[in-house]
Amino acid sequence: MSEMTRRQFLKLSGATLAASSLALMGFSPGEALAEVRQFKLARATETRNTCPYCSVACGVLMYSLGDGAKNARQSIFHIEGDPDHPVNRGTLCPKGAALVDFIHSDSRLKYPEYRAPGSDKWQRISWDDALDRIAGLMKADRDANFTTKNADGLTVNRWLTTGMLAASASSNEVGYLTHKVARSLGLLAFDNQARV
Amino acid sequence: MALQSLDIVRRSATTLPEPQARGAHTGQVAKLIDVTKCIGCKACQVACMEWNDLRDEVGTCTGHYDNPADLSDQSWTLMRFAEYENPDSGNLEWLIRKDGCMHCADPGCLKACPSPGAIVQYANGIVDFHEENCIGCGYCITGCPFNIPRISKKDSKAYKCTLCSDRVGVGLEPACVKTCPTGAIVFGTKDDMRQHAAERIDDLKSRGFDKAGLYDPAGVGGTHVMYVLHHADQPSLYSGLPKEPTISPAVRLWKGIAKPLGLFAMAATAAVGFLHYLRKGPSETDERDEEAARRELEKTS
């Protein structure tokens, strides 16, 4: 820089000043006009379902990768309310609005697990094993505790030592069938969607 | 196409506005937040995170219901809970306001922004940040009368609510509007939202809320996010909503007067220098000057 004469310094300063003034006055080189984020659902597969949380059973729309082609593996990346569903008409509560994280949660239960009495470990079991075990335990309990008549001799046919909590993401028909099955066993402690 | 039009009408740090052949002939969009119907469920916060692919850090309880405690680059909207003891009725009122960008017609952030095209205003009224042009200076925060933009620690760029410009651009409502279970957030043309607000205010007045009103502050040219308030005469009750928000005088002075003046001074200096050169030409030195300079140098050394 020691080589620079006073005149060169002034020339350089002048050029810098002129260039920066032009840029500041809006004569900067044309930039591509800014664009919004692309709409992310344009050709995603849309699938209707029912929110799995409470018994209000809001309708949801699930959007997944790909158009259903054989070689595309579907994966849900967005969920919002179903505007055509009469229950919620597009709205969702904070839990329902966060469903996509529930689906991709590391701690999501994906298969039956069993914890033996006294154990602190869950072990994975097959659906057949799980259903057999549940059916066996239900039958044993029902055989032992089913009441046909009450103290007054009135026929009651009830089973009070077992209760049933059924899922909420059920249609009317599923609710009806669940109700029939549970009541035909004599269950009284019973809550499912059919209550709503 | 006008409602969802994303034609840019204003651009930060750009003196000459883009000429516009098209306009929002069927009206601009607006979001109306009816504070009197809000139950504080935070579904809007969740829907916002989900749509915009944001995940804030799991925070800690700070002793109140605001969660997270403040807006951030990951939380573009936030329910702010205020407890107010009404001296007239003696009632404890829980005033819950959904905070977020108000999408001002005269945006202070856009005015303050020195980076061309980092903040834009669309024909439909949405004010949007374009992070690729953002230089992270934080002037938008100074310019904002509502204290909304936040600089990300990850990429040092400013973020705020976009009014889901990507949804509105294809004719959908913003995510928070769609999810709101009580219908406290509604969306439509600004005229329709004003009309909806007027009906709500009539209803509130008939229930004894004499001071119910619409919050659409004129100081920033009106906003594209409006509130129905039970106490429209005291907006500060709602977690410090400013009564008469205006763009900071410093920003207006700097961008309104100082910047054009400065530009003029620079241009004038260059012009005067050039004219001086034309008339006087370069400053020449002759042998006598050089000799004098040499003697001067010897004397001092």
Residue by residue, pLDDT tens for chain A (196 residues) are 567 788 888 888 888 877 776 766 656 555 545 567 889 999 999 999 999 888 788 999 999 998 889 999 999 999 999 999 999 999 999 999 999 999 999 999 999 999 999 999 999 999 999 999 999 999 999 999 999 999 999 999 999 999 998 776 777 788 888 889 999 999 999 887 766 6
Pairing of the two strands A45-50 and A59-64 = antiparallel
Pairing of the two strands B92-99 and B78-85 = antiparallel
Domain count, chain A: 3
A81 to chain B: which residues are within 8 Å by CB?
Answer: 178-179
State which amino acid sits at residue B184. A
Question: Is the peptide bond preceding residue B68 cis, with omega within 30 degrees of 0?
Answer: yes
- Are residues A78 and B51, on separate chains, in Cβ contact within 8 Å? yes
> What distance in Å separates the CA atoms of residue A61 and residue A46, rounded to the nearest whole number?
6
- What tens digit of pLDDT does each residue of B234-268 get? 999 999 999 999 998 888 888 778 888 888 999 99
CA angle A11, A13, A19 (to 5 degrees): 100
Q: Is B286 helix (H, G, I), strand (E, B) or coil?
A: coil
> Could you tell me the CA-to-CA distances from A74 to A70, A79, A122 in Å, in that order?
10, 14, 29
Does A56 contact chain B (CB < 8 Å)? no
> What distance in Å separates the CA atoms of residue A21 and residue A1, rounded to the nearest whole number?
25
Residue B283, pLDDT above cutoff 70: yes
In degrees and rounded to multiples of 5, residue B92 shows phi and psi of -90, 120
Domain that holds residue A85: 45-103
Half-sphere exposure of A74 (CA within 13 A, CB side): 14
> What distance in Å separates the CA atoms of residue A153 and residue A66, rounded to the nearest whole number?
64
- What tens digit of pLDDT does each residue of B119-138 get? 999 999 999 999 999 999 99
Instruction: Answer whether B221's CB lies under 8 Å from B104's CB.
Output: yes
- Asked if residue A38 is part of any domain, the answer here is no
Domain shared by A118 and A99, yes or no = no
Distance from CA of A191 to the nearest CA of B (A): 25
- What tens digit of pLDDT does each residue of B86-113 get? 999 999 999 999 999 999 999 999 999 9
Half-sphere exposure of B182 (CA within 13 A, CB side): 13
**Interface predicted TM-score of the whole assembly (ipTM), two decimals:** 0.82
Distance from CA of B248 to the nearest CA of A (A): 22
Instruction: Answer whether B173's CB lies under 8 Å from B180's CB.
Output: no
Please count the other Cβ atoms lying within 10 Å of the Cβ belonging to residue A96: 26
Distance from CA of A21 to the nearest CA of B (A): 7
- Asked if residue A150 is part of any domain, the answer here is yes
Label residue B19 exposed, middle or buried (CB < 10 Å: 0-12, 13-18, 19+): exposed
What are A133's two structure tokens?
């075990």
> What distance in Å separates the CA atoms of residue A48 and residue A59, rounded to the nearest whole number?
7
Minimum-distance CB partner of B41 among A21, A88, A94: A94
What are A104's two structure tokens?
């991709």
Q: Which of A37, A53, A58, A84 to mutate to test the interface with B (most CBs of B within 10 A)?
A: A37
pTM of the entire predicted model: 0.82
* Beta strand extents in B28-159 (DSSP E only): 29-34, 78-85, 92-99, 119-122, 127-129, 150-151, 158-159
- Are residues A14 and B178, on separate chains, in Cβ contact within 8 Å? no
Domain shared by A130 and A114, yes or no = yes
Helix or strand (DSSP H, E) at B189: strand B185-189
Half-sphere exposure of B11 (CA within 13 A, CB side): 22
Q: Is B81 helix (H, G, I), strand (E, B) or coil?
A: strand
Domain shared by A86 and A134, yes or no = no
Q: Which of B79, B266, B276, B277 to mutate to test the interface with A (most CBs of A within 10 A)?
A: B266
- What tens digit of pLDDT does each residue of B193-240 get? 999 999 999 999 999 999 999 999 999 999 999 999 999 999 999 999
- Asked if residue A174 is part of any domain, the answer here is yes
- Going by C-alpha positions, the residue among B50, B38, B37, B5 that lies closest to residue B23 is B5
Nearest CA in chain B to A18: B270
pLDDT at B5: 73
Q: Is B279 helix (H, G, I), strand (E, B) or coil?
A: helix
- What tens digit of pLDDT does each residue of B12-50 get? 888 766 677 777 888 899 999 999 999 999 999 999 999
Nearest CA in chain B to A102: B50
Domain shared by A88 and A56, yes or no = yes
- Are residues A26 and B15, on separate chains, in Cβ contact within 8 Å? yes
- Asked if residue A75 is part of any domain, the answer here is yes
3-state SS record for chain A: CCCCCHHHHHHHHHHHHHHHHHHHHHHCCCCCCCCCCCCCCCCCEEEEEECCCCCCCCEEEEEECCCCCCCCCCCEEEEEECCCCCCCCCCCCHHHHCHHHHHCCCCCCCCCEECCCCCCCCEECCHHHHHHHHHHHHHHHHHHHCEEECCCCCEEEEEEEEEEECCCCCCHHHHHHHHHHHHHCCEEEEECHHHC
Q: Is B121 helix (H, G, I), strand (E, B) or coil?
A: strand
- Going by C-alpha positions, the residue among B113, B84, B111 that lies closest to residue B96 is B84
Q: Is B89 helix (H, G, I), strand (E, B) or coil?
A: coil
DSSP class of B42: -
Instruction: Return the CATH number at A66.
Output: 2.20.25.90
A14 to chain B: which residues are within 8 Å by CB?
Answer: 270, 273
pLDDT at B215: 97
Instruction: Answer whether B32's CB lies under 8 Å from B197's CB.
Output: yes
Instruction: Answer whether A47's CB lies under 8 Å from A61's CB.
Output: yes
Strand partners, A46: A63
> What distance in Å separates the CA atoms of residue A41 and residue B61, rounded to the nearest whole number?
35
- Asked if residue A127 is part of any domain, the answer here is yes
